[in-house]
């Protein structure tokens, strides 16, 4: 009798083997977890803790070092058991004659318990009448609703993929409230992959066709998000470059999978892993994402006026004319004026933006050289460009924070002054480097709008 390698994804297993391996793995994992948690971290541990795996950890911004270490260790321990569970589940589904992509339910809280029970009770399928018919393995019901024509298959694949993407987007932004790798990397990658694999269910497709199938659902999802007032046009356009690149990568992988399938009879089970990428990213990010980094943006300008004149315009300036830049006219918050209450350190400056005022208590008043302030209140970073007048996505509040700013004045020969504006800020959107490029550019444009207005005022009154 051929032995079953429980770690491999190929093959089939019966319900008795599935139950035995599942019980043994659960017992082994509980014992390892109990030893690690109680003996190393000195915390209580029971089966009930699996409903809340990280115990007291409930947020992503205020994790102590100990809690961060605890979360990392628990995730590390879980990896081989996740692999084993998925491998066994895929083989059990195959044996039961069910589509292997249903293994995505492995990660569904509560629902996975019923899912495991069904797999334990469901008998093996009778001899199949044909081989698995597509890179999306074995779902007989797909035969009845995936059109046989190329155009029909494409339209259905795009529609189903876009609506699936809408569901995951709402899960990430409205439920988990995570604007990170899962939303901007995992989701578009999966959309491109799913669309290609569904479209290639009946026939092999060319690479160019797979590319179109990968990116069109992303465009459709963007349009849907705009129409249902979940996001505005500016945020969708800013996320589009990384989303399209990831969709192309997912579509390329889908092309490789479907090409391999139509070249040989056994389709790989990689789709089941890809289905889990987005919710898996959401869960890991929600508990273990590190605090946002603090970034610094500096901008400078030379003004044909002495520091004493420039200082007066730095502390408070009159209303700036309406912006001409497309960036600000499209909805990005822009500065309008600045006013101050009091004099010296302890005074409170209000820099009024199009979305509201920044509240800036002065911490250093070194006239006419350095004005430094903290930021204790941040307005929304933009007004979403939307056909509905005004919407309030979650990322408008708490995901971009300005912490501190300053103006440094340096006297130059000829009665000129160099003014350097600096902002220290953080954002809670990942991939951090990608969004960092956007936010740096926007803040620099804000700096220059203020500095150019200060120059115009100072030079107009220099004598």
Pairing of strands 356-366, 400-412: unpaired
Boundaries of CATH 3.30.530.20 in the chain?
295-460
How far apart CA 424 and CA 379 sit, in angstroms, is 16
pTM of this prediction exceeds 0.75:
no
Q: Are 204 and 211 in contact (CB under 8 A)?
A: no
pLDDT at position 410, please?
A: 92
- The answer regarding whether domain 295-460 maps to CATH 3.30.530.20 reads yes
| Cβ contacts of 39 within 8 Å, gap of 6 or more | none
pLDDT at position 364, please?
A: 92
State the DSSP string of 404-429.
EEEEEEEEEGGGEEEEEEEEEEEE--
How far apart CA 391 and CA 185 sit, in angstroms, is 24
| Cβ contacts of 267 within 8 Å, gap of 6 or more | 132, 134, 135, 136, 137, 257, 260, 261
Ordered per-residue pLDDT tens for the chain, 463 residues = 455 677 777 788 888 899 999 999 989 988 998 898 888 888 888 776 665 544 444 444 445 667 667 777 877 888 888 888 888 888 888 888 776 667 766 766 566 777 788 888 888 876 444 344 444 444 455 555 667 777 888 888 888 878 877 777 766 565 555 555 566 666 788 788 878 888 887 777 888 888 888 888 888 888 887 776 566 666 777 777 778 887 887 787 777 767 665 544 334 444 444 444 555 555 555 554 556 667 888 999 999 999 999 998 888 888 889 888 887 877 788 888 989 998 888 899 998 988 888 888 999 999 899 999 998 888 877 776 656 665 555 555 556 788 899 999 999 988 899 999 999 888 766 566 666 777 888 889 989 999 999 999 888 865 5
pLDDT at position 240, please?
A: 78
How far apart CA 247 and CA 165 sit, in angstroms, is 12
pLDDT at position 173, please?
A: 61
Terminus-to-terminus CA distance in the chain, angstroms? 100
Q: List C-alpha distances in Å: 284 to 81, 90, 112, 281, 336.
A: 16, 23, 18, 5, 41
pLDDT at position 387, please?
A: 63
Q: Are 77 and 29 in contact (CB under 8 A)?
A: yes
- Find tokens 């708490």 and name the residue: 398
Phi (first) and psi of residue 400, to 5 degrees: -130, 125
pLDDT at position 280, please?
A: 52
Strand ranges (E), 202-334:
295-303
> CB count, 10 Å around CB of 104?
22
pLDDT at position 52, please?
A: 53
| Cβ contacts of 295 within 8 Å, gap of 6 or more | 424, 425, 426, 427, 436, 439, 440
State the DSSP string of 63-106.
--HHHHHHHHHHHHHHHHHHHHHHHHHHHHHHHTT--GGGGGGG
pLDDT at position 241, please?
A: 78
b/e sequence 179-204, b meaning 16+ C-beta within 10 Å: bbbbbbbbbbbbbbbbbbbbbbbbee
Q: Are 216 and 160 in contact (CB under 8 A)?
A: no
Q: Which structure tokens are listed for 7?
A: 């770690």
């Amino acid at each position: 009798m051929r032995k079953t390698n429980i770690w491999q994804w190929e093959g089939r297993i019966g319900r008795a083997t599935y139950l035995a391996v599942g019980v043994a793995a659960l017992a082994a994992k509980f014992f390892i977890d109990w030893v690690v948690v109680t003996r190393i971290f000195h915390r209580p541990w029971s089966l009930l803790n699996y409903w809340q795996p990280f115990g007291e950890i409930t947020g992503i911004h205020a994790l102590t070092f100990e809690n961060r270490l605890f979360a990392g260790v628990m995730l590390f321990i879980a990896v081989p058991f996740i692999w084993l569970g998925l491998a066994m589940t895929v083989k059990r589904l195959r044996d039961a004659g069910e589509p292997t992509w249903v293994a995505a339910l492995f990660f569904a809280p509560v629902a996975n318990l019923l899912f495991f029970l069904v797999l334990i009770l469901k008998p093996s399928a009778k001899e199949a009448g044909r081989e698995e018919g597509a890179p999306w393995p074995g779902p007989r019901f797909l035969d009845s609703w995936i059109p046989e024509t190329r155009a029909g298959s494409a339209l259905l694949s795009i529609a189903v993929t876009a609506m699936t993407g809408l569901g995951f987007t709402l899960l990430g932004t409205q439920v988990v409230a995570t604007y990170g790798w899962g939303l901007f990397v995992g989701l578009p990658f999966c959309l491109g992959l799913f669309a290609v694999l569904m479209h290639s269910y009946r026939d092999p497709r060319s690479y160019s066709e797979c590319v179109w199938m990968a990116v069109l659902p992303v465009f459709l999802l963007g349009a849907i998000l705009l129409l249902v007032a979940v996001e505005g046009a500016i945020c969708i356009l800013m996320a589009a470059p990384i989303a399209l690149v990831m969709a192309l990568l997912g579509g390329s992988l889908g092309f490789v999978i479907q090409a391999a399938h139509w070249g040989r009879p056994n389709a790989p089970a990689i789709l089941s892993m890809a289905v889990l990428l987005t919710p898996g990213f959401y869960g890991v990010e929600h508990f273990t994402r590190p605090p946002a980094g603090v970034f610094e943006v500096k901008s400078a300008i030379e003004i044909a006026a002495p520091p004493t004149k420039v200082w007066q315009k730095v502390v408070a300036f009159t209303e700036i004319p309406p912006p001409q830049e497309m960036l600000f006219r499209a909805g990005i918050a822009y500065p309008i004026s600045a006013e101050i209450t009091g004099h010296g350190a302890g005074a409170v400056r209000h820099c009024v933006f199009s979305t509201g005022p920044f509240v800036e208590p002065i911490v250093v008043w070194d006239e006419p050289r350095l004005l430094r302030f903290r930021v204790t209140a941040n307005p929304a970073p933009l007004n979403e460009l939307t056909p509905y007048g005004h919407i309030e996505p979650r990322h408008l509040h708490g995901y971009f924070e300005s912490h501190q700013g300053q103006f440094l004045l340096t006297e130059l020969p000829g009665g000129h002054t160099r003014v350097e504006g600096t902002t220290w800020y953080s954002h809670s959107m990942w991939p951090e480097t990608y969004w960092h490029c956007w936010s740096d550019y926007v803040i620099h444009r804000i700096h220059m709008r203020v500095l150019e207005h200060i120059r115009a005022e100072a030079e107009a009154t220099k004598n």
